[in-house]
Structure 1
Amino acid sequence: MNLILRKASDRDLDFLDQLEQVAFSEAQQSSRRNIKKGINSDFQEILIAEQKHKKTPVGAIVLFKYSHTLRIYSIAILPEFQEKGYGAFLMDYILDFAIKSQMDVISLEADANNTKLIAWYENKGFVTKEQKEDYYGVGLHAVKMEYHIEDSSSEKGIKNIIVINKPHNWPFPDVNAKVITVKDYINQPEYQNNSDLRVFNLCSSYKYQSYGYYVSLLASARGQRVMPSTTTIRDFRILNVIQTATYDIEEYINKALRKIDGSTYSLNVYFGQTKNKEFKKLCLKLYQLFESPLFKVVFVKHEKWLIKDIQVLTLAKLPADDLENVYEFARRHFNKKRYSIPKLKNYKYDLAILTNPNEATPPSCPEALRKFKDIANKKGLFVEFITKSDTDRINEFDALFIRETTNVNDHTYEISRMAYAEGLVVMDDPWSILKCSNKIYQNETFRRHRILTPKTLVFTKNLFDNSMLDKLTFPLVLKQPDSAFSLGVTKVENKEEAVSALKSLFKKSDMVVCQQFLYSEFDWRIGVLDNKPLFACKYYMTKGHWQIYNWQSDEQDQSGDSETLNIADVPDKVIQTALKASALIGDGLYGVDLKMVGDKVYVVEVNDNPNIDAGIEDLILKDGLYEKVIDSFINRIEVAKNIQNIEFGGK
């Protein structure tokens, strides 16, 4: 949709006046004086719809904002621009605006004789509630119509689950949620196999690879709604991401804190609310950006108020005086909560490729990087290679292509998340990095969707007992959940070796992956882009070693041989399994590692940021491989630029 929405200003008065005259009957028209008052009203939201490139205004919406109801006062498109789907575009925005503002109802009035318009509203989900006699004048009747935003607590089958280390510490009775332990959530089948759960993670710590971290990770893998998500947990630790994400609400921050004396202020946000009513709007805005049940925002004032830090709160950290308010907010929250996804912003056609010139084993060699740049330039994309030192320039670009080994716990994730917050098209996107970086997430996801993997168990530190190894068949492979390039992966031949390896691994993570050892001469690597196969390779095990990489070797080349094949020459079962597995991660660029043992295909893992090196992965497609990747970026940028470019926020 080549359309954007922006807030109206006084310079739009002539257009809005013209629109009233051509779109509505005389009895329905607003006066020029009332239009001007509406533009400057806190109660009204007037938005102009205009064609993106021509900046031509084509329509407008006028919304009245009540406590729990969003009223559509008018919605209009110039006659010459009708029948193009613009009306549906405006209605989608109105629904999204109502959800974000936590409204219960969208209401409107329509001419009772305009059956075509009424049918259009009915098709959008509106229901006629009553007829209003003489509404527009004598004999000019209207119908009142309403759209009720579904109360999420009434969603069929959805249940609220509160996961907490010590359930007896939950002090609030009579909330619409079941309180369970971390142990039960991780191990009980009723929570493993039910996607109709809304999980509220109130663990005592969200530290990386702690139980709190894994509760959110597993919930996501199980297809459950979870708060806070692992993305939110990570975002709270990255100041640049916080400041980028909150840039658009600086006006709210400074308006809310204008009467605060001093240079620092802290605000606790409980389920999107606060006991300080004057900060209600600000809390809602913060909560829409950072969906976490309980968090604290620290503001600092220099020339203006800025966010210095955001901290996740646990029950133990709540002030005693706030508990009564928290209980009331929790009760309301569990009865009604809606979720929404922020929209992307749009920028110019420039591509940043993130690299690390000092990386020993980068995902793309210099020749491959040169090919990416040359082909992008030919297709109209300007390319600049950047490093982590260019983080503060990320909003200069349209898109970000990460060609540095990613890790959820370093700058690559931070830059990816920041780029997404700035509206860039990102590959690898932060969610793919999160999902691909953790074997526990993938195991849970593949198990749930019945994708064959080597037989896998997950050991948890506080629940593990050496006797658990007695019934297992050796050799086994033990993996640190965020292992990559065969690092953090250990093959153990017996129980004694396993106990020793687990002791070491538990020092780094509360959970460890234990997998059946499957021998094969090579692993398949299927490159996938946009849910389509991109390349196919056989990666052979290093000579005399059980892995592709042998980091203990003294040889200069520590990896095995490779063989690149035409997609058509790969067993169909391998391709289809790879596509199914990668689709569960996303629609970006992935490398799916598989083993074929007999007639069975096992998914080992899905990797974001797969290797694309000149003379290996591009051996079959040649420059065509680079063209496909660049074409994907162009298509994604075009889609992003045609999505609603909406400046959100009330007055």
Structure 2
Amino acid sequence: MPILIIVEEPDDWPLEIPDVTIVSARTYLTDSGFAVNHNAGHTRRSLNRSARVFNLCKSYHYQSLGYYVSLLAEARGHKPLPKVGAIEDLQSQNLVRHLAEDLSALIQRLLAPLTMDDFELSIYFGRTTDSRYNRLGHQLFNLLQLPLLSARFERHRNQWFLRSVRVIDASDISISHQEFAVLAATQYSKVKSPRWSKKHISRFDLAILHDPDNPEPPSNAKALQKFKDAAEEMSMRVKFITRADIGRLPQFDALFIRDTTFVNHYTYYFSRLASAERLVVIDDPESILKCNNKVYLAELLARHNIQTPKTLLVHRGNIARIIPELGLPCILKQPDSSFSRGVVKIETEAELLPRITELLAKSVLVIAQEWLPTEFDWRIGILDRKPLFVAKYYFPPGHWQVIKRDAQKRKMSEGPTQAIPLGEAPPEVVRIALKSANLIGDGFYGVDIKQSGNRCYVIEVNDNPNVDAGNEDAVLKDALYREVMGVFLKRIEARKRGHKSVSGET
């Protein structure tokens, strides 16, 4: 199994590690030897799909080089360390401290003999230079899955607390630690999943997260009430919560997110924390991460031979390829675009450079796709790996997107939605939607598809799909809400049975 170490500047790399290949981040992201061929729909064979990728970039900030290395490594079937979920965890020090709460007793025991009130521990692939702290280092590594990390602890009123965690830049490893860091990296052989503590599930309480001030929520007020009614029919108590209620999550058995999800957003932190507390969660953190990045989706769909519009991953070095390969008009997409925001149609060559420059100022990679004009987009709702509903999303008169916005990105108009019976949808549309959603997980997804003649093209897979009363539920009516709540009930019961099995209950 090949091992790659990805860094931003290989010439500045200070460590000599045997049997690994040092690759620059830009090369990994853009070189055809590592990437998926988007228009042939297969992974090139120059790199084993099981390759392990140690991402040691200086920064993991959202949409930076380091962020995309881990994101695209997962999409390509490689095995990155850290995974993008761990990178997102790192952005919230509050979440990091919460995840580490179970280590409090170990922290108190190991750090109690120290005379200082501030202590920083360097951890290299789960190992520490002082063997006294190896167990703590190993536990933090298993929890956070960061290859080079520094944990800072403070003592307050005779109690030690984890204050912060940061990534160690390889160039900052002291000379006295470099030999040890090489040994730790060499001996590291298996990435382990975090071991979450089991939460005793004693009640069927469902939290529905929403934002009353969101002008474009994924479910309107009438739909939210229908979800509540369906849950209560199944003996689940429902509480509508908002972003201020994050501390209440451990009180619930399940979390249903009905506010628009983003990665750098409170909805993602709710999802991560709910998963850590062993709640049943829709939308789960992995689905939010994967569906909210169009670059990831493009690589994933291409790898699995799913037909999409002709696609180019654009960076500053290949802007000149857009028009020759895709033609005009073409579509540019910000990686985390949604609700018709961050998606622009380029009609002329003069428009291209300022628009792509604007998008590349926010992200090192941008999606460009050929323009496929259609009368409507298919939306297939997928839940628990099964089709749930089918709808046609039409465009406002004279516009090319489902939602028409003004220059300030405010919604001016929206095309009509027409729900149709599942059995009346073209079988190929449903088949390709189900195949695409199943690549993401077993959550709740909305797959958008364009149909041109007999050919179907997947545009994107969305987590947190719209369910508005009067639109998506027009065929199934209240049965749609019962289906969604039935999945929650089934999963809560399965988790409860699993807890009893683990704890020895009968």
Higher deviation after alignment, 161-170 or 382-391 = 161-170
1:487 partnered with 2:341? yes
Indicate conservation of the 8 Å contact 1:470/1:495, yes or no.
no
Paired residue for 2:71, among 191, 213, 217? 217
Bigger Rg, which one:
1
Corresponding residue of 1:245: 99
Contact 1:538–1:564 (Cα < 8 Å) also in 2 = yes
Q: Which residue of 2 aligns with 1:455?
A: 310
- 1:345 matched to 2:188? The reply is no
Give the superposition deviation at 1:644.
Answer: 5.1
- Structure 2's unaligned 5+ residue stretches are 36-42
RMSD between superposed Cα atoms in Å: 1.9
Deviation track 1:262-316 (CA, whole Å, cap 9, x = no partner) reads 3321111101001011101111111110111101111122242121111111212
Q: Deviations over 1:364-411 (max 9, x none)?
A: 111111111111111111100000000111111111000000000111
Counterpart CA distance in 2 for 1:311 and 1:601 is 45
Task: State yes or no: 1:615 paired with 2:470.
Answer: yes
- 1:104-183 alignment to 2 at 5 Å? 158-183=1-26
1:320 to 175, 184, 193: 175
Offset at residue 243 of structure 1 (A): 2.1
Corresponding letter in the other structure for 1:397: F
Q: Does 1:545 align with 2:388?
A: no
Q: TM-score scaled by structure 1?
A: 0.73
| Partner residue, 2:52 | 198
Judged with a 3 Å threshold, the aligned counterparts in structure 2 of structure 1 residues 195 and 495 are, in CA distance, closer, same or farther, namely same
Is the 1:433–1:608 contact (alpha carbons within 8 Å) kept by the matching residues of 2?
A: yes
What amino acid is the match of 1:257? L
Q: Is the 8 A contact 2:312 2:368 kept in 1?
A: yes
Counterpart of 1:279, as a letter, is Y
TM-score (norm 2): 0.93
Secondary structure, aligned partner of 2:413: coil
Q: Does 1:643 align with 2:502?
A: no
The answer for the alignment partner of 1:188 in structure 2 is 31
**8 Å contact kept, 1:175–1:330:** no
**Distance in structure 1 (CA, Å) of the matches to 2:306 and 2:142:** 35
Pair 1:279–1:594, CA change in 2 (3 A): same
Q: Displacement, 1:175?
A: 2.0
* 8 Å Cα contact 1:244/1:421 also seen in 2: no
- Matched AA of 1:625: L
Q: Give 1:188 shift.
A: 3.2
Q: Is contact 1:240-1:418 (8 Å) kept?
A: no
Instruction: Report the counterpart of residue 417 of structure 1 in structure 2.
Output: 272
Q: 1:645 to 1:439 in 2, by over 3 A?
A: farther
CA distance in 1, matches of 2:197, 2:297: 27
2 CA distance for matches of 1:519 and 1:546? 8
CA shift, 1:448, in A, is 0.1
Between Structure 1 and Structure 2, how many residues are aligned?
Answer: 488
Q: 1:388 maps to which residue?
A: 243
AA aligned to 2:347 is E
Conservation of the 8 A alpha-carbon contact between 1:162 and 1:201: yes
User: Aligned letter for 2:8?
Assistant: N
- Gap change, CA 1:187 and 1:395, over 3 Å in 2: same
Q: Say which SS state the counterpart of residue 105 (structure 2) adopts.
A: helix
Write out per-residue CA displacement over residues 513-564 of structure 1, whole angstroms, 9 at most, x where no aligned residue: 1011100010000000001011100000111101001112899751101100
| CA separation of 1:312 and 1:523: change in aligned 2, threshold 3 A | same
Residue 558 of structure 1 aligns to a residue whose secondary structure is: strand
CA 1:647–1:272: 2 relative to 1, 3 Å: farther
Return the letter of the residue paired with 1:202: L
- Counterpart of 2:378 in structure 1: which amino acid? W
Matches within 5 A, 1:1-16: none
* Matching residue within 425, 428, 452 for 2:283: 428
| Match among 219, 223, 227 for residue 368 of structure 1 | 223
Indicate which of 434, 445, 460 corresponds to 1:590: 445
Aligned to 1:264: 118
Cα separation, 1, equivalents of 2:178 and 2:341: 46
Deviations 1:319-375 (A, max 9, x none): 232112111211212xx2243353563333111100000000000111111111111
Paired residue secondary structure (1:584)? helix
Matched-pair contact (CA < 8 Å) for 2:391–2:472: yes
Q: CA deviation at 1:181?
A: 1.7
| Identity across matched positions, percent | 41
Does the aligned pair in 2 maintain the 1:550–1:559 contact within 8 Å?
A: yes
Could you say which residue in structure 2 is the equivalent of 1:274? Answer: 128
After superposition, give the CA deviation of every residue in 1:439-477 in whole Å (9 maximum; x if it has no partner): 00000000000000011101113x244465445410010
- The gaps in structure 1 that reach 5 residues or longer are 1-157
Which SS does the other structure have where 2:129 is aligned?
Answer: coil
* SS of alignment partner, residue 488 of structure 1: strand
